[in-house]
């Protein structure tokens, strides 16, 4: 049985963001905790006991403590059910949480060679002692079975595939440690429970919804998809920045080329937006944008949401 827990649903900075006074952040501060979101990550398991994370957000310590499924087992002095972390990109909001996992518990980091090269180029990640924390490269369109902490088979299959995106913003104008050619900076994942055949997709960063991507995910029972901004120029209009969503590697929810319109003709049982920026008005339950999202069959998840396939 494939289980998935949303650890965090927000984009970088979370909601409320520490230095932001936009409408969404004000509402989160002044409203109830149900408006709060930590930075995007999910955990999944095939047996309910051993878990794998997709990305390690800067809020990971908080997320682990808030998720009973990821607590140490009763009576153990040191233990974690987290057997591995799969990285889909090298942005700060996908890798910074690794630094909170430095207490010598065994697990494996799975990532494309370009992302692993970025980790290797920054000595701060050496706190993850390779005697305990393996770094395993993964290839595009090359399925693999993540292993449990003791090396046993997990019964799960992960298929990484390339999606439209970009390298981490902190590398703009600099040499990429993994080289500037080829895909690998932004991945989508298909996660399958081999015993049941159940699967879901995770695509938290996507700059364009291509026909190839549509063909890949059509028919899925569960898709987590990039919901960073409602409209492409959202941050510019709000006075929060000078970049469009697409220039940051994120397709908008709305518009003719947005995710809602481009994926409307697919058969998807459950569609969930993830990596939602604090500027996105769809976060607000009473907004017209939230109503449009829900009318199109999409969901905005709360942190801690669990789904069983």
Read off the pLDDT of residues 229-263 as tens digits, 9 standing for 90 and up: 999 999 999 888 899 999 999 999 999 999 999 99
Tokens 């963001």 — which residue? Answer: 17
How far CA 40 is from CA of 216, 236, 262, in Å, comes to: 22, 23, 23
Cα 181 to chain centroid distance, Å, stands at 24
- Res. 264 pLDDT band, cuts 50 70 90: very high
Instruction: Please give the mean pLDDT across all residues of the chain.
Output: 96
For residues 234 and 308, give the distance between their C-alpha atoms in angstroms, rounded to a whole number.
34
Q: Can you give the C-alpha Rg of the chain in angstroms?
A: 18
Name, in order, each residue with C-beta under 8 angstroms of 206's C-beta and a sequence gap of 6 or more: 163, 164, 165, 186, 188, 213, 225, 226, 249, 250, 251, 259
> Binning pLDDT at 50, 70 and 90, where does residue 164 land?
very high
Neighbours of 57 (CB within 10 A): 29
CB of 2 within 8 A of CB of 199? yes
Residue 156: phi, psi to the nearest 5? -115, 155
CB atoms closer than 10 angstroms to residue 143: 13
DSSP single-letter state for residue 132: T
Q: Output the pLDDT for position 278.
A: 96
What tokens appear for 108 in the block? 């494996």
Specify the 3-state DSSP secondary structure of 187: strand
Task: Work out the average pLDDT over 194-216.
Answer: 97
pLDDT per residue as tens digits for the range 56-111: 999 999 999 999 999 999 998 999 999 999 999 999 999 999 999 998 899 999 99
Q: Work out whether the CA dihedral 7, 9, 11, 14 comes out positive or negative.
A: negative
pLDDT at 181: 79
**Average pLDDT rounded to a whole number, residues 258-275:** 98
Count of all residues that appear for the chain in the document: 309
Confidence of residue 184 (pLDDT cuts 50, 70, 90): very high
User: Using one digit for the tens of pLDDT, what is the confidence trace for 17-26?
Assistant: 999 999 999 9
- The rounded distance, in Å, linking the Cα atoms of 122 and 170 is 12
pLDDT at 194: 97
Provide the pLDDT confidence category of residue 34 given band limits of 50, 70 and 90: confident
pLDDT band at 32 (very low <50, low <70, confident <90, very high): confident
Tell whether the model's pLDDT for residue 14 goes beyond 90.
Answer: yes
pTM greater than 0.95: yes
* Res. 199: pLDDT tops 90: yes
pLDDT of 169 above 90? no
Residue 153's pLDDT is what? 97
């Amino acid at each position: 049985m494939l289980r998935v827990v949303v650890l965090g649903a927000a984009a970088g900075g979370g909601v409320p963001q520490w230095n932001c006074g936009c409408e969404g952040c004000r509402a989160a501060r002044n409203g109830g905790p149900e408006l709060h979101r930590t930075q995007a990550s999910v955990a999944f398991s095939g047996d309910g006991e051993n878990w794998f994370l997709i990305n390690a957000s800067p809020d990971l310590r908080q997320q682990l403590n808030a998720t009973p499924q990821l607590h140490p087992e009763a009576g153990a002095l040191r233990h974690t059910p987290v057997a591995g972390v799969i990285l889909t990109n090298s942005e700060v909001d996908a890798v910074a949480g690794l630094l909170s996992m430095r207490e010598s518990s065994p697990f494996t980091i799975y990532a494309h060679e370009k992302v692993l090269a970025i980790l290797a180029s920054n000595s701060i990640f050496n706190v993850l002692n390779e005697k305990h924390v393996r770094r395993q490269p993964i290839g595009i369109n090359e399925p693999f079975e993540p292993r449990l902490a003791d090396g046993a088979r997990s019964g799960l299959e992960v298929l990484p595939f390339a999606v439209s995106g970009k390298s981490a913003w902190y590398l703009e104008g600099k040499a990429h440690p993994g080289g500037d050619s080829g895909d690998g900076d932004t991945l989508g994942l298909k996660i399958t429970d081999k015993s049941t055949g159940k699967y879901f997709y995770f695509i938290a960063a996507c700059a364009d919804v291509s026909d190839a991507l549509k063909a890949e995910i059509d028919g899925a029972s569960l898709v987590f998809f990039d919901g960073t901004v409602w409209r492409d120029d959202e941050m510019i209009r709000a006075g929060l920045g000078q970049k469009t969503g697409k220039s940051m590697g994120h397709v908008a929810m709305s518009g003719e080329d947005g995710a809602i319109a481009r994926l409307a003709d697919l058969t998807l049982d459950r569609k969930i937006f993830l990596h939602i920026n604090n500027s996105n008005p769809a976060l607000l339950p009473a907004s017209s944008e939230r109503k449009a999202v829900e009318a199109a069959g999409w969901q905005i998840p709360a942190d801690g949401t669990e789904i069983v396939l």
